[in-house]
Amino acid sequence: MKNKVVIITGGSSGIGRACAFAFGKAGCRVVITGRDATKLNETAQELALRNIECLPVVGDVSLEADVKFMVEETVRKFERIDILINNAGISMRALFEDLDLNVIWKVMDINFWGTVYATKYALPYIIQSKGSIIGISSIAGYRGLPARTGYSASKFAMQGFLEALRTELLPKKVHVLVACPGFTASNIRNTALAANGNTQGESPRDEGKMMTAEAVADQILEATIHRKRDLVMTFQGKFTVFLNKWLPGLADKLVYNHMKKEKDSPFK
């Protein structure tokens, strides 16, 4: 990892922020992006205090021009890109029958198109360095979650895109990793969109009982070093993927009952 250049979208909070510290401590030069300039600069300052070289770039991954600028600034500063971590993401929670369709547009714009834009513009440099493209997906990318139709769709789309891309890039020795954390303590549930498109504010789950963002980042770093193809985290996550593959009917019932128990569940 020494002196490799890593771009992390959504790098000012949650898993992205934790990845910035993990990859930085491993020797990488770090580029973090996000929409909140204040949070981005605070994170960059904290990284600098750890002697981690960091370039913060304000931008919205759902806007192609912003992503193009992010890549250009990275190359201008460091003259290369070795690793792209497509982490920027947003969730939603509402029954599809109650959902404003603009919510799905917004989730897809950030989670799927953000990955497509960043990968497209960073790809020539990653091919040159025989580097890594990483998608931070979710168990929702393997198993559709009720009341998360838009979120699940975006993660299924991301995983299909990266799987096809991995196959295309086999001759060019580019590493593509799909990393799927289980429920992770972060702000993604606080910023999740409700049926009307407003943020739900309070997390419906006990964040204290979840995997930490730092633990997730450490596993992603190890998987990147060893150039793994897939990374599914937590026993619950692995069990869900296994059950959905081999006993999908049972998985439907178990997932429904589990999600129905959430605080303020939208299920009637």
Q: Which domain holds residue 81?
A: 5-237
Residue where the block lists tokens 């947003």: 90
pLDDT confidence of residue 246: 97
Q: How far is 205 from 191, CA to CA, in rounded Å?
A: 13
Q: Is residue 181 part of a domain?
A: yes
Q: Is residue 140 part of a domain?
A: yes
Q: Is residue 253 part of a domain?
A: no
pLDDT confidence of residue 202: 62
Q: Is residue 252 part of a domain?
A: no
pLDDT confidence of residue 201: 61
Query: Does the pLDDT at position 210 exceed 80?
Result: no
Which strand (E) or helix (H) includes residue 243?
Answer: helix 235-246
Confidence of residue 242 (pLDDT cuts 50, 70, 90): very high
pLDDT confidence of residue 184: 72
Please name the residues in contact with 126: beta carbons below 8 A apart, sequence gap of 6 or more: 81, 82, 83, 84, 132, 133, 174
| DSSP for 23-91, written as a single string | HHHTT-EEEEEES-HHHHHHHHHHHHHTT--EEEEE--TTSHHHHHHHHHHHHHHHS---EEEE-----
pLDDT confidence of residue 183: 75
Please work out, in degrees rounded to the nearest 5, the angle formed at the alpha carbon of residue 121 by the alpha carbons of 117 and 123.
Answer: 110
pLDDT confidence of residue 48: 97
Q: Which residue from 23, 57, 25 is spatially nearest to 39, judged by alpha carbons?
A: 57
Domain count, the chain: 1
The CATH number of residue 154's host domain is 3.40.50.720
Residue where the block lists tokens 């198993």: 143
Query: What are the structure tokens assigned to 42, written together?
Result: 């605070």
pLDDT confidence of residue 203: 53
Q: Is residue 120 part of a domain?
A: yes
Query: Does the pLDDT at position 191 exceed 90?
Result: no
Q: Is residue 251 part of a domain?
A: no
pLDDT tens for 7-59 read: 999 999 999 999 999 999 999 999 999 999 999 999 999 999 999 999 999 99
Which strand (E) or helix (H) includes residue 250?
Answer: helix 248-260
pLDDT confidence of residue 51: 97
Q: Is residue 254 part of a domain?
A: no
- Annotated catalytic residues are 151
pLDDT confidence of residue 208: 61
Among 102-106, 167-171, 201-205, the minimum mean pLDDT is found in: 201-205
Q: Is residue 263 part of a domain?
A: no
Q: What is the mean pLDDT of the chain?
A: 93
